[in-house]
Structure 1
């Protein structure tokens, strides 16, 4: 079966390989998206078999799925740390000779603020994806979560950086997407992002930006499912 962005089998292989790295007693960051969902389901099956873990969801969706499959959930305030975070990506910079190798673009599910909080806290952060998410250079729009009152200010600043901001509209209701935090999302097209670390720093400095979807220097590894196997990249 094919799903958007790659085969479901490839996504399942990546998610289940990451889930296999979870050890008894771990606190696990539970990512958002279709590939991370495979990891959550696999962890749930391991919990049924006696694995003792606590999950820290990155979104409402991952929380609901974790509850559905029987993973005990907690929150950042209630744990001393996160042993392993498993999360997806919209795009992965895959040119090992270029700046920003292993950098990620996230935010397609508008959960990137909480994802960044949890992924950056983890002792080890593993990205799960299918091969369609690999790219020599990041080129998809960067998602910015912005305070509603700052939307036009942030958009103007993005244009001075050479980006083109677009307010993300909801698919199943009138009006814009609203994040779990009550904010709006601007998708900002910059064409090819040759220096993701520099752009990340500039975007973080804009007043009104809660968080952006560039994850630079954060991933420890990527498990990439293919049509006939799995590839592992260590960063």
Structure 2
């Protein structure tokens, strides 16, 4: 069955020397599309250059990552908005709130998050949300938009059952990645209790490689291990997991 990796940073330096081999392995693993989230103004050109190399398979997003938000975030957002006018993008991402590394610009992160939600609504695009030590803060913002057409995914979901339910009730999908395969993480068990029609698969390459590749550089072909673990936890056939999650991704990103 075809697969979609809904979140991978293949334009980063980690892939410069062997991107052709990485893409070939993705094809051999049945990967039909790979969605690329942006990070900041400096990552825009490498992202677009890579999409130009593989236009049928790589689908770009545009956004300002929360860890790139600082006091001058408004200038960065102007670059994001300008870039959105120039090419076709499939989502606004990755955006959100990250309180793990640094809380200095928390208020600016919230403002940037809301500003990019407004951009997503204006362009009728889904949002791809980064949440680290910030699920409650993220959900509080999303609640403000529950009566709009906002749609999207909580990328690399690691929240609680309660947070998963709240996100799904707001119309959001949950991104299932490598952490869901980690023993004792508890994430796989939370994900297994969610409706399959609200789950999409991702790698977050080059980060968070799934078991049995944990500790190695992640790549899109490894999404098959995420599908296999989800099938095991759901007591389902892998082919059914692949078929349904691919359909979910196509629906969310209007592929």
TM-score in same-fold range (> 0.5): no
Q: Which has the higher strand share?
A: 1
- TM-score by length of structure 2 reads 0.29
| TM-score, reference length from structure 1 | 0.30
Higher helix share: 2
